[in-house]
Amino acid sequence: MTETTTPDVGRGASITVDRLVKSFGDQRAVNEVSMDLPAGALLVLLGPSGCGKTTTLRMIAGLEDPSGGRIRFGDKTMADGDSGAAVPAEKRGIGMVFQSYALWPHMTVRANVEWPLKVAGWGTAERRRRSAEVLGMLGIDHLAERYPGQLSGGQQQRVAIARTVAPRPQVLLFDEPLSNLDARLRVDTRAELVEVHRRSGATSVYVTHDQIEALAMATHIAVLKEGRLEQFGTPDELLENPQTAFVAEFLGSPAAVLIEGTVASGELMHEGIALAAAVPLPDGETLSAMYRPEAISLAEQDGTGVDITVLESTPSAGRFVVTVRRGAKRIAVVSETRYPVGARLRLVLPEEPAALFDAEGRRWDHLA
């Protein structure tokens, strides 16, 4: 793609989601979700299947009406679930890329990109100039006269993105757009999407279940679970200061390690090992201690620590991500050594955990 230092257009809108609710019958797919996204940001809605991320995206797009709460672009209300008022999708100034490319098979690449401009009333010369600009930005200007059936999947995805960006929308929405691409092409294309976002000047919202993709792309991440917002913030904020056990274990490569302990005489204990001291809770209360995967050591079984069994060792940046089993739980730690599958070792924990979470999975910061 052609390098540039200035955005294509600088009119992205801030997005405010205020206590957003979406119900399907008795089930709440989205439950009281609130967040403020600054103009020009790239938000990733992240979470497992069924967490409400695509439903949230569709409400922002205007493809679903909220059951409660509000959505605003800047100071303009796009939807009010309490009153039922909503701005139609086509009047929200958005562009949306779906999992399926949805290209017109009988139109050339250039014609596919120019079509939304024609519908919007752009003149012929303007359409031609703009289509050439976005095709060049995505490195597919040499494909302008080909038809979708003559393109690879990755090329078709680029055409779909070019068509979406061409009308200069204030808000760009992406519904798992890379899910149909192979692993290498996903890596290449996500970098191009970040560049498209930067150059467009639009505010972008991107749905994925892939936390590595989220960390690579996002300026902000909203982690969802069962329709509720677990945490919203920058990637660094979520990694360094997770507010729930779910976020701690879901985000990161590898994710944080949580080990449950029970309070006894002011200490948090796990099988005779003190995880934390000076815990002002009654005996029998449970907390989970969080450890950074790079702060944990692996040792032979004749030492102290928590018994584990090695499942795999994966090379990573000159070290190894060693995945181990602790009972029914899988844990990944960073090690200088590759260990054979099936090796019986011990996890050697730091003296103090990085954080504690209560039995409901909420951050617990009340150490004496």
Paired tokens of 329:
């739980």
Parent domain of 260:
254-294+350-368
Q: pLDDT tens across 250-273, in order?
A: 999 899 999 999 999 999 999 888
For 274, the 3-state DSSP assignment is strand
174 shares a domain with 136: yes
Q: Of 175, 209, 243, at which residue does a domain stop?
A: 243
Alpha-carbon span 191 to 197, nearest angstrom: 10
319 shares a domain with 285: no
Q: pLDDT tens across 276-288, in order?
A: 988 999 999 999 9
Evaluate whether residue 248 is within a structural domain: no
Alpha-carbon span 146 to 38, nearest angstrom: 38
Evaluate whether residue 6 is within a structural domain: no
Q: Give the count of domains, the chain.
A: 3
CB atoms within 10 A of CB 140: 22
* Conformational region of residue 317, where left means phi above 0, alpha means psi within -120 to 50, and beta covers everything else: left
Asked if 21 and 59 count as a contact pair (C-beta separation under 8 A), the reply is no
Evaluate whether residue 3 is within a structural domain: no
**Which CATH number fits the domain that encloses residue 328?**
2.40.50.140
172 shares a domain with 31: yes
CA atoms within 13 Å, Cβ hemisphere of 164: 28
- Over residues 12-22, the mean pLDDT reads 95
94 shares a domain with 57: yes
Of the pLDDT bands very low, low, confident and very high (cuts 50, 70, 90), residue 300 is confident
162 shares a domain with 135: yes
Q: Of 243, 269, 286, at which residue does a domain stop?
A: 243
**Which CATH number fits the domain that encloses residue 184?**
3.40.50.300
CB atoms within 10 A of CB 164: 24
315 shares a domain with 170: no
133 shares a domain with 42: yes
For residue 317, pLDDT beyond 90: no
344 shares a domain with 361: no
Q: In what order do the strands lie in the sheet with 76-80?
A: 27-37, 15-24, 68-73, 76-80, 85-86
342 shares a domain with 288: no
Evaluate whether residue 249 is within a structural domain: no
Q: What is the CA radius of gyration of the chain?
A: 24
95 shares a domain with 163: yes
71 shares a domain with 219: yes
Cα 104 to the chain's mean position, in Å?
Answer: 30
Q: What is the pTM of this model?
A: 0.89
Evaluate whether residue 5 is within a structural domain: no
Under DSSP, the state recorded for 242 is: -
